[in-house]
Structure 1
Amino acid sequence: MSEYYVAADGSDIANGSSSTPWKTISRAMQEQLKPGDEVVVKAGTYREQVVVSKDGAADNYITIRSEVPGGAMLRPPSSDTYSTLNVRADYIKIEGFDVVGGGGHAIDVDGSHHVTVKGNIAHDSGGSGITTTKSDWLTIEDNEVYGNTATNGYQCSGISLWQNVDLAAGNAEFRNIIRNNVTHDNVEGAAITSEHTDGNGIIIDGFHDTNYSHGTLIENNLSYGNGGKGIHVFLSDYVTVRNNTAWHNNHDNANKGTWRGELSNAMGSHNTWVNNIGVADPGTNSWNRAINNVTTNGYVNQDVRWYNNITFNGTSGQASVLSDYQMPSAVNGNLFGLDPLLANPADGDFHLRPDSPAINTGTSAFGLGSTDIDGQGRVNGVVDVGADEAHSSAVDTPPDAKDDSASAPR
């Protein structure tokens, strides 16, 4: 196992050691990287399109990481660049970069399995911030994703998993984990003028098209101020969405009216929505709902479970739920039309106030992660609803989170 270094003031004719680093990340990708190798990128700006094409192994991922979290800034080299950081290999970790995409995506994973994208900032891209296509065994955690989807002619979102494919054998409750991310202000721009459905904070999309039926977990995420839905599960099954907070999304008035939801399940079955907070802002658009559970084109949702969620649209007592199948019920612990009393969301503080009704009103019946979005213990008494678990003091920077369920090898 070898460790290679890249620095903005290095040289691509050097040997990639800590004392004589290469100048570009692309030069490191040309090396015959082997399982367990690590590429450490020093702080600086790198104007290049990077393609990761060497495979790691199950017990020895290849890691490409910024030495200082957020310090290695990867930028598109020209206006013609599509996606900036591209993963086309298996058993790969991408950690700690600040990435701006070109006309495409900031971080683009295609046809790969066992890929971890962790602790990155993906922003101001024409397409998605972090996108995966026909991939499997994915972990996307601790990232901040914002300001994307503005110029791409295709519909994109902040974090997008599209048409997963069964690429590698293995048993786990969840093959894919999207956890502890903050995704905000991803709004489709003028490139799409017709009615559309994207610009979402997080979307699980099109798993039906590839007959993908393995479990996916969306947990401890904060999604706010996006053009589309906060969290959207579309044409996909076996997704568990638990302990997330979605606030004032659906800002895009061209986004399809009947699919407006902070928490949205559209043509998906065997999905579980538990311990989530959805706060809609109907002042932005009258179609906006906290929960959206709808079908279309003759498809009927089956076995969609809604438990212990809180919804609010600014008016006490209004459920703010649109459903044409299996209407979420208060019998299942859901609290409809109740202000969750977030600390100061307009100024970016989404922690729970001491008097929040989200405190101690969740359920552990569908599993729990061990920590919340801040990295603090998830259960302090009975589990809370939303991404935050109330404690006497808050931590601003989420450290590594762990999950109680089986997951992809790390």
Structure 2
Amino acid sequence: MPKVYYVSSEGSDRNSGLDKNAPFKTIQKASDLTRPGDTVYVMNGTYKSTLSNSILNITNSGQPNAWITYKAYPGHKPKLESKGWTAIEVRGASYITIDGFTLVGNNDNVTLDYAISQKDNLNNPLTSGNGIGVVPLYQSDTIYPHHIVIRNNHVSKFGGGGIYTYSADYVTIENNTVHSNAWYAPYGNSGISNYQNWNFDRQPGYKMIIRGNTAYDNKNFIPFYQVGVITDGNGIIIDDSRNTQLNSELGQYYGRTLVENNIVYRNGGRGIHVFESDAVDIINNTTYQNSQTPNIQDGEITAINASNVQVYNNIIYAKTGLPANTISDASNVAYDYNLIFNEAQFTGLTLNNKFGQDPQFIDPSAGNFTLQAGSPAVNKGGGLTAGTDVRNVRRPQGASVDIGAIEIDDIQIPDNFTRQGSRQADILRGTVRADILEGKGGNDTLLGGAGNDLIVGGVGYDSLVGSRGNDTLVGGRGRDIFAFGYGHGQDVIQDFEDRQDQFDLPNNLRFDDLIIRQQRQDTLLKIDQRNFILLENTRSTQITETDFR
């Protein structure tokens, strides 16, 4: 019969560990006793490592129908503090789940000056410790790890990597928060990394999965010792699945890798980096202002020395002055149905990608990447899509899948004002919030207010006034008039009908004051080099003085 072991920082390794009132003191004690099907519950407390030992070194394996699970006791939040090489290490084990731990590294005890002084010291765990590692066990025969799940953990402040795999297969890394790692090691670490995947078998389909994670503020301050410059600090990296580095003899990896529903922002390296790897699908992620390290200028989502990479339905919000992406020495790479904003450059075909439209996050400075009502990412996904979002909300909630990691209910937006008109001639006024105004039938007047509004005219001759904020205006059928508040955001018109709809310019502006530019399939109207109006699916040659009242 499978056993349940209990661990508490107030326990004793002389206890039985089989009762929550007689727990072990160390997680390692329980781990050493585990057999297939066992569960180790870890209760509240702080568990610390030594310089030479991990807090938890897992070598006992489960079986396909009897995994071994290490899990926070229900309602508890055990904390693992490590100054050693790796806080939790899976070494050659298989069929293992690690669930619900808070892991904290040694960054708070290290200064940058000290880390710089140790840049040539490859044997210092104080600067180079890692959070969770999955690695082989080297004996007379190498035992490779496989079938591992790492979920619901909070991993921060490790000088080395946050969560990493090396020579492993069938690993799922999901719903973890991974931040402020990779600062001080000379190894070129990142937040989440798959390195040199190994073939447990040659079955097709997804075998390595990174989904639902939040990765931010992972960066390198110390150069990679092999090249003498800073190279990494990525949010997520799929690295050398071709197994060409370090004289690897593993050969080409045959599985596919799925990177899905992750929120990746303000990392020093790229947001999601595919390097010397193949067969990777990057779907419904949100990346925001990565490549913060000055000498890393590759942008958000990359495919370098790679092939068979599919990048679909991602929000790609570039750091100012940097490209959205980099494709280099790569083949069979597709970017489609992505929303791309603030980029200095985009490499690839336009296809169904959307450009020049702010995704309208609620509060990215506070890490809130929920879409506001009227976001151009809502209901605009297509092609390869995720079945749920980062919160496990079913997709789609509206007419189509939303682009990015978070799916919103476009019918019921919390805390926002929603008003629908009748079939008569209505006047609908918004508030200072993000409003949804829908005129339905009739000749309506819709006034957005100060928020980022979605204004839908419906059938009839409607007047749509965006006012302040980044507004989305949909005139619907009929001759519509679009008016705007210049200087208070960029508005988007989704269905301009040439020779039928017209514009009202604010503040005594004239047609001659406009700069009209083609932006891929859309037309951008600018005033004084400031983006003013984006007309979706409209040619710039269609816009003439007769379109303005």
* TM-score, structure 2 as length reference: 0.64
1:37–1:393: structure 2 CA closer, same or farther, 3 Å change rule? Answer: farther
User: Cα deviations across residues 241-283 of structure 1 (Å, max 9, x unaligned)?
Assistant: 000000011111133x4xx11111111111100000111122x
Q: Matched residues in 2 for 1:69 and 1:98: separation?
A: 13
Q: Which residue of 1 aligns with 2:339?
A: 310
Q: Which runs of 5+ in 1 are unaligned?
A: 296-300, 314-318, 395-410
Matches within 5 A, 1:9-24: 9-17=10-18, 18-24=20-26
SS of the residue corresponding to residue 221 of structure 2 reads coil
> Is 1:280 aligned with 2:324?
no
Q: Matched residues in 2 for 1:152 and 1:179: separation?
A: 26
* Structure 1: 4+ residue segments shifted above 4 A: none
Contact between 1:143 and 1:182, CA under 8 Å: does it hold in 2? yes
> Is 1:66 aligned with 2:72?
yes
Q: Which residue of 2 aligns with 1:185?
A: 217
Contact between 2:222 and 2:230, CA under 8 Å: does it hold in 1? no
SS of the residue corresponding to residue 8 of structure 1 reads coil
Q: Which residue of 1 aligns with 2:7?
A: 6
Matches within 5 A, 1:81-230: 81-88=84-91, 89-101=93-105, 103-111=128-136, 112-167=145-200, 169=201, 171-190=203-222, 192=224, 194-209=228-243, 210-230=251-271
Contact between 1:149 and 1:199, CA under 8 Å: does it hold in 2? yes
> Is 1:371 aligned with 2:394?
no
User: Cα deviations across residues 161-214 of structure 1 (Å, max 9, x unaligned)?
Assistant: 0000102x3635201111100000001124659433210000000011241121
SS of the residue corresponding to residue 242 of structure 2 reads helix
1:69–1:243: structure 2 CA closer, same or farther, 3 Å change rule? Answer: farther
How far residue 100 of structure 1 moved from its aligned partner, in angstroms, is 2.2
Q: Which runs of 5+ in 2 are unaligned?
A: 107-127, 137-144, 244-250, 415-549
Matches within 5 A, 1:327-346: 327-329=348-350, 332-346=351-365
Contact between 1:86 and 1:107, CA under 8 Å: does it hold in 2? yes
1:70–1:384: structure 2 CA closer, same or farther, 3 Å change rule? Answer: farther
User: Cα deviations across residues 135-184 of structure 1 (Å, max 9, x unaligned)?
Assistant: 000100000000100111100110000000102x3635201111100000
1:184–1:215: structure 2 CA closer, same or farther, 3 Å change rule? Answer: same
* TM-score, structure 1 as length reference: 0.86
| RMSD, aligned CA | 1.8
1:393–1:12: structure 2 CA closer, same or farther, 3 Å change rule? Answer: farther
Higher-Rg member (1/2):
2
1:322–1:335: structure 2 CA closer, same or farther, 3 Å change rule? Answer: closer
Q: Which residue of 2 aligns with 1:267?
A: 305
Q: Which residue of 1 aligns with 2:58?
A: 52
Pick from 401, 404, 415 the counterpart of residue 383 of structure 1.
Answer: 401
- How many residues in Structure 1 have an aligned counterpart in Structure 2? 366
Percent identical: 36
Q: Matched residues in 2 for 1:241 and 1:389: separation?
A: 17
Q: Matched residues in 2 for 1:36 and 1:20: separation?
A: 21
